Amino acid sequence: MHTVVVGTSGVTASDVLAVARGGARIELSAEAVAALAAAREIVDALAAKPDPVYGVSTGFGALATRHISQELRAQLQRNIVRSHAAGMGPRVEREVVRALMFLRLKTVCSGHTGVRPEVAQTMADVLNAGITPVVHEYGSLGCSGDLAPLSHCALTLMGEGEAEGPDGSVRPAGELLAEHGIQPVELREKEGLALLNGTDGMLGMLVMALADLDALYKSADITAALSMEALLGTDKVLAPELHAIRPHPGQGASAANMLAVLKGSGLTGHHQDDAPRVQDAYSVRCAPQVAGAGRDTLAYARLVAERELASAVDNPVVLPDGRVESNGNFHGAPVAYVLDFLAIAAADLGSIAERRTDRLLDKNRSHGLPPFLADDAGVDSGLMIAQYTQAALVSEMKRLAVPASADSIPSSAMQEDHVSMGWSAARKLRTAVDNLTRIIAVELYAATRGIELREGLTPAPASQAVIEAVRAAGVQGPGPDRFLAPDLAAADAFVRAGHLVAAAETVTGPLQ
């Protein structure tokens, strides 16, 4: 099994994906263990002094003015975890919880939190055992960290609350720890606070969304090319010299992908109307510009994610010179913004894909295709309602594009008076990514049917490879009306599993 070694300098996106989705094992580097021990010595020294230090010998948030005596400090750390584990709503996905815990472990191992090495090792042991704390949908405002979600994870480390075992059953966390020989942690000064004060949930969801959207943007380039073929559009607008004079990197990459898919097509450029077209509609002609802008947004979001993956997010932090200083690095604004940016870009990509689908189905704009791509229009409705479903998905995508980060609800008696809502931005982006996959699947279904209805014209070799692969996957071609939902589900699964990109790349080679 793949092993990820966590050191003091952060982790990579591929590390997060390996742990969250691939079940990779985790080891702590010797460097990380040494840094943990050194930082803990500083915290222990401060805890022994009479001077109040936030998070070590004081209360939290608006209660930070109270000095806590030594005999109550262990109780203080237990209490913050128990009281902050206040999530509600449905459980979030296993991969999200694993990313959440792994990224908190990343910051703990930086040596800036003051957590003991044995606590960090317990975090790794829980993940390696396949134990997943029960974390709920609601409870994070994206400031002072993803507080409630991380608190539910910390509760599991204490042997309290509920968790999911490797077999998928939800049971008391203490039982699961005992079965795997894991001793619950007894939290000491600052440790409870350090386990729940970070942007780890929103960052984990950002990393996974970036991976999913990278594949979806390639998929969208392919379906846009297939629609161009089915509509007998011209690929001249994809010429590299046209995109070189507006040198946005994403635009150039999308145009190059479409051109690679269309190489050798016998459909592009055939204008069979009585009134030949001078230009294709925007949804066809401007596909690289729209998808390219989204690709460039992905690139910026990836840069933010890389910076955050290299960060140590906690409050207060232990500095190498021995100071323990309060700070505002837990604020989720940098991550929240890009999560919202991605939802906007995804909504626009879904919207332009739906417009191409609608054009394929309209006999007045499809340049010779039958109404709704039906076998016997009037008797058959064809893909009429498939487009309704796609339109409903696009409508929801537009609602999901409303930024969460523009909102703020003050909390903690106005001590935390401006929050990021980054967790909420991440949750709605996950829904948007799911919906975008379905939207692209519907365009794939319509475009492949449209190409097959162009009798006497030969599609590009890459297009033919896609058609053959999608038919082999159980997505049926043209014919009389049938129960449509299974076809759409099969198309969705085909796109979601990466088979669309893989099929095209058997001819084109790796797409950008």
* pLDDT reported for residue 172: 98
When pLDDT is averaged across residues 372-399 and rounded to a whole number, the result is 98
For 398-423, b where at least 16 C-beta lie within 10 A, e where not — what string?
eebbebbbeebeebbeeebeebbbbb
Band of residue 60 on the pLDDT scale cut at 50, 70, 90 = low
Enumerate helices (H) and strands (E) in the chain, giving the number of each.
19, 9
Question: Residue 202: phi, psi to the nearest 5?
Answer: -65, -35
Structure-model confidence comparison of residues 71 and 7, the more confident one: 7
Angstrom CA distances, 458 to 191, 429, 447, 463, stand at: 66, 39, 14, 10
Q: Say if residues 80 and 197 touch (Cβ distance below 8 Å).
A: no
One-letter amino acid of 255: A
* pLDDT reported for residue 58: 74
Angstrom CA distances, 181 to 44, 125, 159, 249, 460, stand at: 28, 9, 12, 52, 59
Helix (H) or strand (E) holding 26: strand 25-28
Helix (H) or strand (E) holding 138: strand 136-138
* pLDDT reported for residue 274: 52
3-state secondary structure 341-352: HHHHHHHHHHHH
Band of residue 417 on the pLDDT scale cut at 50, 70, 90 = confident
* pLDDT reported for residue 306: 98
Q: For residues 295 and 292, what is the distance between their CA atoms, to the nearest angstrom?
A: 5
Beta bridge partners of 172: 162
* pLDDT reported for residue 276: 64
- The per-residue pLDDT for range 418-475, each reduced to its tens digit, is 899 999 999 999 999 999 999 999 999 999 999 999 999 999 999 999 999 999 999 9
Flag whether pLDDT at 482 surpasses 70: yes
- % of the chain exceeding 70 in pLDDT: 98
Lowest mean pLDDT among 62-71, 223-232, 276-285, 286-295: 62-71
- 205-314+345-406+419-506 is classed in which CATH architecture? Up-down Bundle (1.20)
Q: At what angle do helices 147-157 and 94-108 cross, to 10 degrees?
A: 80
* pLDDT reported for residue 191: 94
Q: Say if residues 191 and 116 touch (Cβ distance below 8 Å).
A: yes
Beta bridge partners of 58: 67
* pLDDT reported for residue 49: 81
- The per-residue pLDDT for range 323-371, each reduced to its tens digit, is 888 898 889 999 999 999 999 999 999 999 999 999 999 999 999 999 9
Residue 54 a catalytic site member:
yes
Exposed / middle / buried, residue 470 (Cβ in 10 Å: 0-12, 13-18, 19+): buried
Choosing from 54, 217, 300, 388, the catalytic residue is 54
**Euclidean distance between the first and final Cα of the chain, in Å?**
30
Flag whether pLDDT at 317 surpasses 80: yes
* pLDDT reported for residue 235: 94
Nearest to 221 by CA among 465, 458, 410, 500: 500
Return the number of other C-beta atoms located less than 10 Å from residue 326's C-beta.
11
Q: For residues 235 and 229, what is the distance between their CA atoms, to the nearest angstrom?
A: 9
Beta bridge partners of 4: 26
Q: For residues 238 and 288, what is the distance between their CA atoms, to the nearest angstrom?
A: 8
Beta bridge partners of 27: 5
Q: Say if residues 397 and 350 touch (Cβ distance below 8 Å).
A: yes
When pLDDT is averaged across residues 36-45 and rounded to a whole number, the result is 93
Question: Residue 171: phi, psi to the nearest 5?
Answer: -145, 170
Structure-model confidence comparison of residues 58 and 311, the more confident one: 311
Flag whether pLDDT at 122 surpasses 60: yes
E-assigned strands of 247-343?
A: 317-318, 324-325
Domain boundaries, the chain: 3-197, 205-314+345-406+419-506
Band of residue 261 on the pLDDT scale cut at 50, 70, 90 = very high
* pLDDT reported for residue 275: 57
Strand, helix or coil at 369?
coil
Q: Say if residues 461 and 260 touch (Cβ distance below 8 Å).
A: no
* pLDDT reported for residue 504: 98
Strand, helix or coil at 53?
coil
Residue in this structure with the two tokens 């076998």, named with its chain if needed? 375
**Which tokens hold the place of 120?**
């960090």
Q: For residues 187 and 119, what is the distance between their CA atoms, to the nearest angstrom?
A: 8
Helix (H) or strand (E) holding 157: helix 147-157
CATH number, domain 3-197, options 3.20.20.140, 1.10.275.10, 3.60.15.10, 3.40.920.10: 1.10.275.10
When pLDDT is averaged across residues 405-419 and rounded to a whole number, the result is 86
* pLDDT reported for residue 273: 52
Band of residue 503 on the pLDDT scale cut at 50, 70, 90 = very high
- The per-residue pLDDT for range 16-40, each reduced to its tens digit, is 999 999 999 999 999 999 999 999 9
> Global pTM?
0.95
- The per-residue pLDDT for range 165-200, each reduced to its tens digit, is 999 999 999 999 999 999 999 999 999 989 998 899
Band of residue 54 on the pLDDT scale cut at 50, 70, 90 = confident
Band of residue 271 on the pLDDT scale cut at 50, 70, 90 = low
One-letter amino acid of 509: G
- The per-residue pLDDT for range 72-107, each reduced to its tens digit, is 888 888 999 999 999 999 999 999 999 999 999 999
* pLDDT reported for residue 61: 67
When pLDDT is averaged across residues 41-45 and rounded to a whole number, the result is 90
* Secondary structure (DSSP) of 109-133: TTT-S---HHHHHHHHHHHHTT-EE
Question: Residue 442: phi, psi to the nearest 5?
Answer: -65, -40
Band of residue 222 on the pLDDT scale cut at 50, 70, 90 = very high
